[in-house]
Chains A and B, each alone.
Chain A
Amino acid sequence: MSRSRRLFRKIQKSMPDLVLCKDMLVIPPTEHVVRGFLLEATSERERVYLWKVVTPLLRPIRRVILNYSDRISGGEPNLYIRKDAFEESAENIRDIINEEVEYLRGIRHPHDFLRHASWVVEGSPLLARFDQALIRYLIGDAQQSVRAFRALDREADQLDDGRREYIGPLLKRIVLEIDKDPAGLAALLGEWEQQNVERLGLEPSRLLSKRP
């Protein structure tokens, strides 16, 4: 069992509302956006980064992307998981997580995500504008998002092969769907989302936990 999973399993015992999905502690229910906490190793032994994760699931991803996430440390300069003080390390991280749970609960719906990622504007990175357009489509802003997809597709055509490799085919697929039937795009996004849920092991967090 990984260090992350061991630590989060310990924390989860005192925070039963959260769900452990692979190596990530997730706030249920996961709908179109996954929210939770993730540990990242560093080049220094035992030092970790703790991420407050917000990741939309509408485009195919192989793992949780951290573009909309933040590193948190509860004001400490560095966070460690000490092998010889595992309990203490877990308590420290639990306390930091505890401070952030309510904020993440508030990023449940697509329009919450738009508020969270309000730094995404015209001229922001292509992937960020792509995510924004996908979310806008989901909340019913179909006309504007369809225009955005077409513009992003044209923009992606100008990229070099390396940068187009991931986003290019996705945009082509979306434009193809739009040309057939703009309303049909919802099915494709649903399919991608479900694939992400399976790939990232998020199924247990799809259901809302029983809260007192």
Chain B
Amino acid sequence: MGSGRGHNTREGKDRDEVQSKTDADSAAEAALVERTTAILHYVVLLVSSAIARQPGSSAQTHGTNVHTAFAKVVRKMNLPGIGQIGVEQSFDKDGLASYGADDSIRTDVVLRNPKGVIIAIYDLKTGNAIIRPSRAKELRTLTGAGPDVPVMELHSVRGLMQR
């Protein structure tokens, strides 16, 4: 997680001002999620059409190739709220973990607000794979995301699904 995140606080704001700020923050976050979702979906479409399944290769190998290419493109795009670090991040209950650690889960993309709070989780799926409710719950729990944080399934054929 990058440092240098700014946040302005001012003493003496009355409740209306605070509420209005909160509403503005929420609206900005919603807009960021919407914009990012559209971009990531577009990237999935591009990557999926560019990565042909090799004759004789398994669905799993194809899925890995698509994931790898998707991660590369998204990292290169350095999107707001994602950057380099929000791609292929692993989590366990203690916090951010490294790949393959016991009891950890790997996310494809997480989107954060400027305070570092996760506001959307993206999971790329290929073939017949789907995000089951138990998986969505696990993703939210281990990332520390709230129950309202959308877990978005990105699929080149089925399109976008919120879980």
Contact = CB atoms under 8 A, between A and B. Distances in A.
Contacts, number: 104
Interface string A58-88: 0011111111111101000110000000000
A62 B94 contact: yes
Given A71-B85, A163-B141, A123 B76 contact: no
Contacts of B64: 43
A181 interface: no
Given A123-B115, A125-B117, A69 B144 contact: no
B57 interface: no
Contact of A40 (B5, B68, B99): B99
Interface string B50-74: 0000000000000010011001100
Overall SS of chain B's interface: loop
Interface residues on A, range: 35 or more
Nearest to B7: A121
Overall SS of chain A's interface: loop
Interface of B: 1-7, 9, 64, 67-68, 71-72, 75-76, 84-85, 88, 90, 92-101, 114-118, 137, 140-141, 144, 147
Interface of A: 38, 40-44, 49, 51, 60-71, 73, 77-78, 116-128, 160, 162-163, 165-166
